[in-house]
Amino acid sequence: MGTPETAVPTLRRCLEDGHEVVAVWTQPDRPAGRGNKLSASPVKEFALSRGLDVHQPAKIKTDEARELFASHEADACIVVAYGRILPASYLSAPRRGCINVHFSLLPKYRGAAPVNWAIARGETETGATTMQIDVGLDTGAIYLQRATPIGDAETAPQVLARLAALGAELLGETLARLDELEPRPQREDEATHAPILRREDGLIDWSASAFEIERRVRGFQPWPNAHTQFRGQRLVIYQAAARNALEEFAEFAAGAHGDGSVAGEVRTAHGDDLEVACGAGTRLQLSEVQPEGRRRMSARDFINGMRVQAGERLGGEEGVGEGERGKG
């Protein structure tokens, strides 16, 4: 059971290891692209290319769906980013239950967006976990785990691609050793959560530290993206670097810098240098942005095309994002 591209390596690994995949469950086709044409999930496309039976129930809590699931008479159900929480009746249907590949080091970052929040909150490592699914949200007993560092400049899609491969390896080892592995309960006192992302999570609070904002730039890709307002229109930031500028100022007061700049103010806009004042005496160097209705572009192209001037303000009432920082 899986839907996005990150679930494909695990399905491929199951086939490569010689397991008989009796059925593949994935989300229904969704409208996508400018024409809103129905688009199949990556898991469906891969499964059909291998001649596997694919099922796409719109709802899984119906008698029909439950009976279909039980009819597979599977030894185990492997779940990777399927997109639905399985009811108890599903968990008991396969002979060995349901096994999840989760992209975090559980019990840290339980929930829908573990990689995004791990980066946004400044974690230096993450990993993959195989666990026995129970009725809770990512609370089941753990089979195996493997850690991997988060690079200083890595984005969520880059880390997730690496974890997809790591998770497939871990699942292969888990199934090979299933008879000998003793699942260990998770420690509730160490649990953290990674809730589903909302559009407002990407709204930049320029009074936050540039280091925090930079992590959100990397962590909230490909959606909702770190975004702000510039001249009344949405501006997405795709690449940025943070630095501490306090030493440049003789004095510093809350909400304002010693040179008179305020959070969100463009301090430099020349050549490739586009720098914005942030909280705690920090500055954010923007490298790649996307103005509303335009393509992604370098800071130089943005400065030249929009004639950006030092002293202009990013954010304002709509873009500051008061109260959004640190959600989750």
3-state helix, strand, coil in the chain (%, to 5): 30, 25, 45
pLDDT of residue 256: 46
pLDDT at position 27 is: 97
| pLDDT at residue 258, as a whole number | 47
* pLDDT given for residue 248 in this prediction: 54
Q: For position 34, what pLDDT does the model report?
A: 76
Q: Which pLDDT score is estimated for 268?
A: 96
Pair 55, 31: CB distance under 8 Å: no
Global confidence as pTM? 0.91
pLDDT, residue 57, reads: 97
Residues 256 and 134 grouped into a single domain: no
CA pseudo-torsion sign 200, 206, 207, 211: positive
Contact between 314 and 240 under an 8 Å Cβ cutoff? The reply is: no
CA–CA gap between residue 239 and residue 214 (Å, rounded): 8
Q: Which tokens go with 86? A: 């399985």
Name the stretches of the chain with pLDDT < 50. 250-258, 318-328
pLDDT tens column, 37-54:
899 999 999 999 999 999
Determine the pLDDT at residue 33.
Answer: 76
pLDDT digits (tens, 9 = 90+) for 4-21: 999 999 999 999 999 999
User: Quick one: 180 and 221 in the same domain?
Assistant: no
Residues 135 and 281 in one domain: no
Identify whether residues 94 and 226 lie together within a single domain.
no
What is the end-to-end Cα distance of the chain in Å, rounded?
A: 27
CATH of the domain at 154: 3.40.50.170
273 shares a domain with 173: no
The model's pLDDT over 305-316, given as tens digits with 9 standing for 90+, comes to 999 999 999 996
Task: State how far the Cα of 238 lies from the Cα of 165, in Å rounded to an integer.
Answer: 25
One domain, residues 17 and 159: yes
Residue-range definition of the domain harbouring residue 47: 5-190
